[in-house]
């Protein structure tokens, strides 16, 4: 596979690989996705060398949204650099903001996570061919450049699939559970029946097997994408920093939301919550003994030569943004102010999870992207669900999140013995009624992981056969 387009030298080619950082973010034209890009710009410039380059690949569903995203992130980078230059000039430090902006590169590509054919085509193009920004920018910026590798893929894009809010049920929840618990784990959202993508003529899918929209947008699309991008994520030796597949989950991914016999939640009441619980289970059990017969093939490129040349697979990490006032939640626009106020009050009352705004919610994903590998390894980072956290003083951080049936770190522990202070203490922000994890729970969780991994691999192979995927 190849392209007839002439390859153009990329601006990051002038620096060695260790001074390049390539990050792909799905669903990045607004909300959390766009804010992840903004926070990465801020924290990259604050922590990396003055010669390092950040290459962001935000995906959107249309060229117009890609152009909008490129302009927004380039403008943000310029503002950040100019602000830093102004601050440094006060202490007599010379700082060229234009040179700083020249080290931030935005390359936005189009991707529909519900389009299985499009997913394979997108990955093949990124792996094998030069790629370009869409036409329409004032300058010929990043045309026909190759992406040599990916350091992180942030699986952020999602679709809620709700029709609205059950207000009487919401009021009853506030009265019986309190505001904080109610807006942390809401039980009053009205979910739409799972939309069947096979019924959408734009995808040209066969009548069977059925493919659900929320399941595809939140999990399965990312699942296919991650596997197909392995040639860019895998490494040649363990001396290289492994690639990272960073899954975005939700605080609402409770135990009862996932029925493994109905993995796409065709018959359940919450497709979004089910998809996020499935995300938790897949990510946290990737390296478990029972799941490895299925996760190991997933993390191995289909091309045997590629697998032999780059045998070190990427690592899975699990994050969530906390609770953010977002249009994904089914609140009418004229009531968003009330919803936002409720989140602010919950944070003021001591909740660690109410990030409220997307930039605060982007903290956990950006943190995992930028952490040194040794630091993540020391924290057993693959076995933790990392959540964006904030306190009433608006101090933002990253907090370990309890996963029902798994605990905080995949082990039996007494949360009362936690020595962390403030909002980082494990007892702070805990869902009411959640029992401490037991050894039996962990065994059950690992078995659930193996079952889900098998179902996902079977489904991936089934759809690859349906659309006639050709391997190089």
Domain locations along the chain: 11-148, 162-467
272, 317, 359, 383: which is the annotated catalytic residue? 272
CA angle 340, 346, 350 (to 5 degrees): 145
* 269 tagged catalytic: no
CA–CA distance, 458 with 220 (Å, rounded to integer): 12
65, 189, 276, 363: which is the annotated catalytic residue? 276
Q: 387: which 2 tokens? A: 């959540």
Question: How much is the pLDDT for 59?
Answer: 98
Its pTM stands at 0.95
* 272 tagged catalytic: yes
Question: Exposed (0-12), middle (13-18) or buried (19+): which is 372, by Cβ within 10 Å?
Answer: exposed
Q: Is residue 161 left, alpha or beta, with left meaning phi > 0 and alpha meaning psi from -120 to 50? A: left
Render each residue's pLDDT in the chain as its tens digit; 472 residues.
444 567 889 999 999 999 999 999 999 999 999 999 999 999 999 999 999 999 999 999 999 999 999 999 999 999 988 887 766 666 656 667 888 899 999 999 999 999 999 999 999 999 999 999 999 988 778 999 999 999 999 999 999 888 888 889 999 999 999 999 999 999 988 888 889 999 999 999 999 999 999 999 999 999 999 999 999 999 999 999 999 999 999 999 999 999 999 999 999 889 999 999 999 999 999 999 999 999 999 999 998 888 899 999 999 999 999 999 987 776 777 788 888 999 999 999 999 999 999 999 999 999 999 999 999 999 999 999 999 999 999 999 999 999 999 999 999 999 999 999 999 999 999 999 999 999 999 999 999 999 999 999 999 999 999 988 765 4
66, 184, 249, 351: which is the annotated catalytic residue? 249
* 276 tagged catalytic: yes
Question: How much is the pLDDT for 6?
Answer: 74
- Up-side HSE of residue 26: CA atoms within 13 Å toward CB? 26
What are the b/e assignments for 294-306, b being 16+ CB within 10 Å? bbeebbbbeeeeb
Question: How much is the pLDDT for 93?
Answer: 60
């Amino acid at each position: 596979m190849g392209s007839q387009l002439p390859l153009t030298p990329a601006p990051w080619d002038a620096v060695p690989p260790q001074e390049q950082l390539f990050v792909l973010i799905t669903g990045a034209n607004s909300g959390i996705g766009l804010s992840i890009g903004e926070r990465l710009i801020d924290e990259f410039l604050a922590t990396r060398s003055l010669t390092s380059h950040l290459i962001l690949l935000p995906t959107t569903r249309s060229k117009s949204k890609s152009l909008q995203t490129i302009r927004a992130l380039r403008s943000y980078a310029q503002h950040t650099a100019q602000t830093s230059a102004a601050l440094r000039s006060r202490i007599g430090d010379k700082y060229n903001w234009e040179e700083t902006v020249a080290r931030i590169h935005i390359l936005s590509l189009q991707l529909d996570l519900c389009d299985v054919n499009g997913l394979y085509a997108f990955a093949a193009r990124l792996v094998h061919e030069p790629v370009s920004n869409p036409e329409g920018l004032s300058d010929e910026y990043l045309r026909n450049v190759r992406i040599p590798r990916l350091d992180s893929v942030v699986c952020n894009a999602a679709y809620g699939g709700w029709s609205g809010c059950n207000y009487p049920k919401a009021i009853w929840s506030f009265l019986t559970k309190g505001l904080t618990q109610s807006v942390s784990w809401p039980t009053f959202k009205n979910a739409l029946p799972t939309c069947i993508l096979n019924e959408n003529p734009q995808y040209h899918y066969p009548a069977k097997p059925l493919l659900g929209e929320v399941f595809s947008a939140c999990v399965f699309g990312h699942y296919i994408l991650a596997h197909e991008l392995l040639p860019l994520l895998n490494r040649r030796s363990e001396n290289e920093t492994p690639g990272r597949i960073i899954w975005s989950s939700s605080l609402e991914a409770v135990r009862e939301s996932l029925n493994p016999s109905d993995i796409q939640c065709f018959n359940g009441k919450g497709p979004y919550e089910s998809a996020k619980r499935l995300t938790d289970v897949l990510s946290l059990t990737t390296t478990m003994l029972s799941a490895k017969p299925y996760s190991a093939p997933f993390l191995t490129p289909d091309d045997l030569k590629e697998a032999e040349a780059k045998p070190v697979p990427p690592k899975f990490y699990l994050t969530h943004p906390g609770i953010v006032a977002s249009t994904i939640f089914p609140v009418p626009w004229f009531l968003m102010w009330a919803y936002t106020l409720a989140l602010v009050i919950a944070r003021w009352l001591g909740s660690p999870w109410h990030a409220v705004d997307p930039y605060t919610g982007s903290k956990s994903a950006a943190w995992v992207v930028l952490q040194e590998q040794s630091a993540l390894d020391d924290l057993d980072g693959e076995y933790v669900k990392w959540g964006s956290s904030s306190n009433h003083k608006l101090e933002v951080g990253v907090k370990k999140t309890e996963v029902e049936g798994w605990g905080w770190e995949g082990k039996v522990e007494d949360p009362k013995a936690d020595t962390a202070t403030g909002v980082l203490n494990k007892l702070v922000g805990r869902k009411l009624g959640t029992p401490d994890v037991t050894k039996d729970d962990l065994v059950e969780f690992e078995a659930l992981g193996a079952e889900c991994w098998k179902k996902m691999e079977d489904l991936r192979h089934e759809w690859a056969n349906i659309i006639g995927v050709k391997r190089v």
